[in-house]
Amino acid sequence: MSFTRLLKVSVAAVMTLALASCGGGGGGGGGAPQLTNMGGALQGRALALTNSVTSFAGTAGSADGAAGRARFSLPSDVACDGTNLYVVDTGNSVVRKVVLATGATSTVAGLAGVTGSADGAGAAARFNYPTGIAMSSDNSTLYVSDTGNNTIRSIDVATGAVTTLAGTAGSVGSANGTGGAARFSSPCGVATDGTNLYVADSLNHRIRKIVLASAAVTTLAGSGVQDFADGTGAAASFNSPRGIATDGTSLYLADQGNSAVRRIVIATGVVSTLVQPAAGIESPAGIATDGTNLYVADTEMNNLRKVVIATHAVSTLAGDVAGAPGSNNASGGAARFSTPGGLAFNGGALYVADAGNDLLRKVTVATGDSSTVAGVVGSADGVGVAAAFTSPYDLTTDGRNVYVADSNNHTIRQISIATGAVTTLAGTADRPGSVDATGAAASFRFPSGITTDGTSIFVSDTGNNTIRKIVIATGAVSTLAGTAGVTGAADGSGSAASFHSPNGITTDGTNLYVADSGNNSVRKIVIATGAVTTVVAPSAGLSSPYGITTDGATLYITDSGNDRICKLVLATSVFSPLTVSGVAFNFPSGITTDGVSLFVTDAANGSVSRIAIATGVSGAVLTGLRNPNGISTDGTTLYVADAHDNTVIRVR
């Protein structure tokens, strides 16, 4: 996946709205300026900002802090050293630490809401949707499967220093080799016996072994064919293996695609099946062992299962046997979970990454009693700060409402400018998918770019690699271009086209323009036909473009990987960097314009800058934010989505 952020988008029907009709305030009278719906914003008057900042909607929500104040976004796996719990906070692309005694939460490495592949210490490091984590036998090192980068990373616990142990970011494959010469395809679970690291190489359908002393990577088991067979080494086969655990002699594997639990003898590579596909575990994800029993998180059935290793007997430890989701703490079958993932066993308790609830939970094995270790549930509708978002990455406005791509809730939200009331326009929180339907029946997967022409909303559905359309009046969702689950760079019409992690999106009223981040390109979509062409090719030198906006004549693009702003003159197709003075960008992300100035969110610097289009002179509008991404204007006010704090703020 890639997704990161931003962008203003617009699919403007280039409709001209009188200022008085936009809810943006302003004087009436014959001389009042007219505002044009363009680029996902209202343009036509230079913003007269005093830089007054207020909270508009949502409360901080990838936040560190005490147990009940900490927030997570799709925590996928956990590891424990007996004192602390370490969490891959997948939706935020960071690794977090939770003190077991108090629930106090802090960030070990990465910057919430910003993806990348850089090694470095603490907040200087970058991850791309990591999903697996393991602790070394001496508790000095964490090992992380950096799934979106197809790499295995290590973190020095004492310093937070992150290095890449094996694989190369952006390179997919199955080759064995040492360090960066090895290749993986969506690695998930990791486990270590102190000498070697074992990786569930999910889309290669293999189990890989990494010698920690040398970083040499080999294949322990699996043919590479998506199938189900016991056997030795390459004679065995798996289907999208996910969680992995070890007792030092054997590996235990959640063979998710086969709905099975497998055992691999480390010394010989012999694979056998402990829980058959028909035994009632539908979608095993996390797995842990106490040496006598296995504990398995079933993401489909929203419960935790216990497997006696000696007899293979399966029972339900906690959660509803019928699979009903929820978040309440209780004993045994009365407890509820939502898409539970990784597990860690310590001191008679299981620690659970309850991904669908964005919580870390604890289940006492002897009693089945559950409790919450850290986190709060965050997808509620409401008014102003009573509402909750999870990593809102982009927003757009038609002057009456602000529309938000609430990425890690997989929904599109609507905020009334007049009242601050937040409602969900399309999708259902914590139910990712690609279904075209109306309102809550539709589904998205990490939407991260959004724009509007006042009649429809257009969405970069990043996790699905598609561009979606929502009719505002009805909430009807359809797919305009791309095919869900297909990654590529092909031009074509509708489903024949393909994208790679599309992010920012904007419009000139006739066409959509998409920052196709994974392809380092800009794509054009004719709204009427869905025909897709490439207007800025990778050879132009873009690196992870995320934000894009237009004033109708020129596209402005945040060239995030190169820390600069670029422009494309639509009439001539001339592409060039924008000369800017007065600011040094560090991963610029969102961008919008009032027609006179550009307003740019700088994710890593936590700032918003204004750039005069005519001169390139810039200055700070706002500093001190955590991870600002999407930005838009209604002609009077700037709206900024802060993905780290799960808030939308207003700048006047």
Chain segment 44-77, per-residue pLDDT in tens:
999 999 888 888 887 654 556 666 667 788 899 9
Give the residue-averaged pLDDT of 441-458. 95
**Residue 11: pLDDT above 60?**
no
pLDDT at position 377 is 60
396-to-67, 313, 449, 454, 602 alpha-carbon distances in Å: 33, 53, 9, 10, 18
CA dihedral 110→516→73→404, nearest 10 degrees, is: 130
Residue, of 113 and 6, whose pLDDT is higher? 113
pLDDT at position 431 is 84
pLDDT at position 70 is 76
Query: Of all residues in the chain, what percent carry a pLDDT higher than 70?
Result: 92
CA atoms within 13 A on the CB side of 417: 23
**Residue 5: pLDDT above 60?**
no
Give the residue-averaged pLDDT of 631-646. 89
Q: How far is Cα 591 from Cα 597, in angstroms, rounded to an integer? A: 10
In this predicted structure, which of 20-24, 260-264, 350-354, 570-574 has the lowest mean pLDDT? 20-24
Q: How far is Cα 621 from Cα 607, in angstroms, rounded to an integer? A: 8
**Residue 19: pLDDT above 70?**
no
**Residue 328: pLDDT above 80?**
yes
pLDDT at position 632 is 97
376-to-92, 253, 360, 386, 451 alpha-carbon distances in Å: 15, 30, 9, 13, 29
Give the residue-averaged pLDDT of 433-455. 95
**Residue 221: pLDDT above 90?**
yes
**Residue 10: pLDDT above 50?**
no
Checking DSSP bridges between strand 628-633 and strand 638-642, what pairing results, if any?
antiparallel
Shared fold status for 130-150+167-374 and 382-651: yes
**Residue 27: pLDDT above 80?**
no
In this predicted structure, which of 12-26, 146-160, 209-223, 299-313 has the lowest mean pLDDT? 12-26
Give the residue-averaged pLDDT of 343-362. 92
**Residue 629: pLDDT above 50?**
yes
Select from 96, 640, 68 the least CA-distant residue to 397: 640
pLDDT at position 512 is 98
In this predicted structure, which of 57-61, 248-252, 335-339, 460-464 has the lowest mean pLDDT? 57-61
Give the residue-averaged pLDDT of 294-323. 95
Q: Are 397 and 452 in contact (CB under 8 A)?
A: yes
Domain 130-150+167-374 sits in CATH at 2.120.10.30
**Residue 28: pLDDT above 60?**
no
Cβ–Cβ contacts within 10 Å for residue 92, how many? Answer: 34
Which of the given ranges, 377-386, 407-416, 559-568, has the highest pLDDT on average? Answer: 559-568
Give the residue-averaged pLDDT of 289-307. 96
Q: How far is Cα 305 from Cα 534, in angstroms, rounded to an integer? A: 49
Q: How far is Cα 639 from Cα 651, in angstroms, rounded to an integer? A: 6
DSSP secondary structure letter of residue 127: B
Query: Of all residues in the chain, what percent carry a pLDDT higher than 90?
Result: 79
Confidence of residue 278 (pLDDT cuts 50, 70, 90): confident
Give the residue-averaged pLDDT of 86-104. 92
Q: What are phi and psi of 575, to 5 degrees?
A: -110, 135
pLDDT at position 315 is 96
Q: How far is Cα 399 from Cα 377, in angstroms, rounded to an integer? A: 30
**Residue 354: pLDDT above 60?**
yes
**Residue 24: pLDDT above 50?**
no
Average pLDDT score, the chain: 90
In this predicted structure, which of 33-37, 81-85, 254-258, 542-546 has the lowest mean pLDDT? 33-37
Confidence of residue 21 (pLDDT cuts 50, 70, 90): very low
Give the residue-averaged pLDDT of 90-96. 90
Q: Structure tokens of 57?
A: 């909607």
pLDDT at position 358 is 83
Q: Does domain 382-651 have CATH number 3.40.50.300?
A: no
pLDDT at position 63 is 55
pLDDT at position 561 is 92
Confidence of residue 112 (pLDDT cuts 50, 70, 90): confident
Confidence of residue 327 (pLDDT cuts 50, 70, 90): confident
**Residue 6: pLDDT above 60?**
no
Q: Give me the DSSP letters along 438-489.
A: BGGG---SSEEEEEE-SSEEEEEEGGGTEEEEEETTT-BEEEEES-TT-B--
Q: Are 485 and 495 in contact (CB under 8 A)?
A: no
Contacts 24+ apart (CB under 8 A), 349-353: 350/288, 350/295, 350/304, 350/317, 351/78, 351/80, 351/85, 352/78, 352/286, 352/297, 352/304, 353/75, 353/76, 353/77, 353/78, 353/87, 353/88, 353/286
Confidence of residue 30 (pLDDT cuts 50, 70, 90): very low
Enter the pTM of the model.
0.60
Domain coordinates in residue numbering, the chain = 130-150+167-374, 382-651
Q: Are 304 and 318 in contact (CB under 8 A)?
A: yes
Q: How far is Cα 257 from Cα 299, in angstroms, rounded to an integer? A: 12
- Tell me the Cα Rg of the chain: 24
Confidence of residue 33 (pLDDT cuts 50, 70, 90): low
pLDDT at position 14 is 21
Q: How far is Cα 542 from Cα 415, in angstroms, rounded to an integer? A: 33
pLDDT at position 538 is 96
Give the pLDDT confidence of 132-144 residue by residue, as tens digits.
999 999 999 999 9
pLDDT at position 20 is 22
Which of the given ranges, 5-19, 199-213, 597-611, has the highest pLDDT on average? Answer: 199-213
